[in-house]
Structure 1
Amino acid sequence: MSLTQHKLRQNDIQIELRHRNILRTKLTVNELLDLPSDTVAYESVGRCFLKQPMENIYGVLQKTIEKSEEEIKNLQSQEDALHRNLKEAEDYLRELVQAKKASVSAD
């Protein structure tokens, strides 16, 4: 049961990180939209920067947002499954305790 709770906490942290990534990427897109279309832009690739048209930069940022949103959906479905497992474990333990109490009071 504590393992499930640990996984739930990790899952929440991952979801929060993805939300922050989306926010940061949207802020970057908004800042880039303020720039003229002929502005020179560079994309980070490893330890170097490649000159790219602004459309490519927007595309990369949009893909990053879409990927993060998809990961959030997957993490939320995992979280739902973990909540179900935790509820089942709690119910099982509750039944065990009640059965033990019933057997002790019957003796």
Structure 2
Amino acid sequence: MADEVNKTAFLEIQGRMIELTGKLKQVQNQMRNKEGEKKRAYLTLEELHQLSDDTNTYKSIGRTFVLEPKPVLMNEQEQKLKDSESAIASLQTSKEYLEKQMAEVENNLRELLQQDPGLARQIMSMSVM
């Protein structure tokens, strides 16, 4: 009876670990994408700063380019930069939360395996097959 309870608890912990790992990878990918967006916006702003105010600037919309005043493009890039920074901060908070959750699940697994050393042997014998 205790073996079944421990096996069930192990399977729940394992499922939670897999779920958290997936979410953590997703958040890390989103952070990488936002970092790329932030860098593109920053570099575009740097290039726009070098242009004189009367220079014709174009904005890409799909496959079409539209003439836009330089200040409009600069405002858009500054907004993209700010949005990326706030998204990165939010994702960082989510990442830290998920990492804490992972540590908690790992501790739960450790405690379970310490309570039932036979369960560890069963798990190892199952993974060898």
TM-score tier by shorter-chain length is 0.7 to 0.9
SS in 2 for 1:50: strand
TM-score by length of 1: 0.84
Find the residue that maps to 1:42 and give its secondary structure. Answer: strand
Q: Distance in 2 between matches of 1:36 and 1:65?
A: 22
Matched length? 102
Mapped partners of 2:71, 2:85: distance in 1: 21
Q: Hey, what's the Cα distance between the residues in 1 that align with 2:54 and 2:105?
A: 60
Q: How much does 1:43 deviate?
A: 2.1
- For residues 10-44 of structure 1, give each alpha carbon's deviation from its aligned partner in whole angstroms, at most 9, with x where no partner exists: 21121111112111111111111111110111223
Choose 59-68 or 39-48, whichever is displaced more: 39-48
The one-letter code matched in structure 2 to 1:29 is L
Q: Which moved more, 1:47-56 or 1:65-74?
A: 47-56
How many percent identity over aligned positions? Answer: 31
Residue of structure 2 equivalent to 1:42? 58
Deviation of 1:59 (Å): 0.3
Q: Which residue of 2 aligns with 1:32?
A: 48
Deviates more, 1:31-40 or 1:54-63: 31-40
> Aligned equivalents of 1:52 and 1:101: distance in 2?
69
Listed as ranges, the gaps of 5+ residues in structure 2 are 1-16, 119-129
Residue equivalent to 1:105: none
Which of these residues, 56, 71, 74, is aligned with residue 90 of structure 2? Answer: 74
Q: What SS class does the counterpart of residue 39 from structure 1 fall into?
A: coil
Deviation at 1:46, TM superposition (A): 4.4
**Pair 1:6-2:15 in alignment:** no
Alpha carbon RMSD of aligned pairs, Å?
1.7
Using the TM superposition, name which of 37-46 and 52-61 deviates more. 37-46
State the distance in 2 between where 1:56 and 1:38 align: 13
